Amino acid sequence: MERVWSTLKRQKYRIVGAHSAVKICHWTKKSLTEGRVCYKQKFYGIESHRCLQMTPSVAWCTHKCLFCWRPVEYNEDLPSKYDDPETIIEGCIEAQRELLSGYHGFLDNIDIKKLREAENPTNVAISLSGEPTLYPYLSGLLDEFRKRRFSTFLVTNGTTPEVLSSLDTYPENLYITLPAPTKSAYERICNPQIENGWEKLNESLELLPKIKTKRKILRLTLIKNYNMGDIKNYSKIIEKAEPDFIEAKAYMYVGYSRKRLEIENMPLFEDILKFCDSLESESGYTAVDSAKESRVALLSKN
């Protein structure tokens, strides 16, 4: 486990308690130093500089995906004891402030008002690393964030439908990642560590229309020469999931994914737009926005 922690710390993660972590988002930094913002601000109105990027299960996942930026080779067994939601949230906010403290030495290049606001985040992206639904008190975590008036984003790989079906509290924004249009492509890309991963993902997608929350989003992580074909199968899956939005997002050649994939596997923005054109005509969803710098396009239900 020490090897995992030391690797994550070198990557500027701040470990919180026994199994959680925080990392300052690239777009939080850009918002503070350059006034540029994440596509989530453009698409959904989230303030990039006030976003807390965290996970309650930093080293635990049901996948070892080719596109993951984390060193998935060091995946660990689940912890025997879990921190409570309030302890995690307090620790994550404190870690965010500590990570931002260094910016106070560069005030000539920093929007000081934004920096002070960033130290008091109002949005949480539960998506940093690992699979957050493996944390057994996820409903409590979401509820505690809501009590603190946070807007909430939860990103899951969909392999725990039993968790999604039993949550007492849902995030305002629920993402399920759809990494492939077929079982064979899914197994090649995701290297599932559980039996029936593809079937469990599809079970979660079938649950999605029944879940009552503000936004349900299907995230397509697109890898050139791996999963950018077979539009018909993508459309069939989308039809049963009935998401409010689809994010077609390019795989980014960063972190440890560079040991598994090549830079040629990172789609250009033009590749994403071309993919969306095909998906529009097949799925009935319409492209409504995009962010070139993040190589992402947003499609909405007609």
73-127 residue pLDDT tens = 765 677 889 999 999 999 999 999 999 988 777 667 788 888 899 999 999 999 8
pLDDT confidence of residue 183? 97
What are 187-219's pLDDT values in tens digits?
Answer: 999 999 999 999 999 999 999 999 999 999 999
What's residue 80's pLDDT?
Answer: 82
Distance CA 192, CA 177 (A): 14
pLDDT at 111: 81
In terms of residue numbers, what domain contains 91? 2-301
What's the whole-model pTM score?
A: 0.93
Kindly indicate the confidence band of residue 185, based on its pLDDT and cuts at 50, 70 and 90.
very high
If one counts every other C-beta atom within 10 angstroms of the C-beta of residue 113, the result is: 9
| CATH number of the domain where residue 264 is located | 3.20.20.70
Q: Tell me the mean pLDDT in the region 254-272.
A: 95
For Cα atoms 194, 195, 199, give the angle at the middle one, nearest 5 degrees: 110
Q: How many CB atoms lie within 10 A of CB 165?
A: 12
Looking at residue 128, its pLDDT comes to: 83
Q: What is the domain count for the chain? A: 1
The mean pLDDT value of the chain amounts to: 92
- Distance of alpha carbon 299 from alpha carbon 285, whole angstroms: 6
Asked whether the CA dihedral 191, 53, 223, 133 is positive or negative, the reply is positive
What pLDDT, on a 0 to 100 scale, did the predictor assign at position 203?
Answer: 98
20-22 and 14-16 strand pairing: antiparallel
State the pLDDT at residue 295: 96
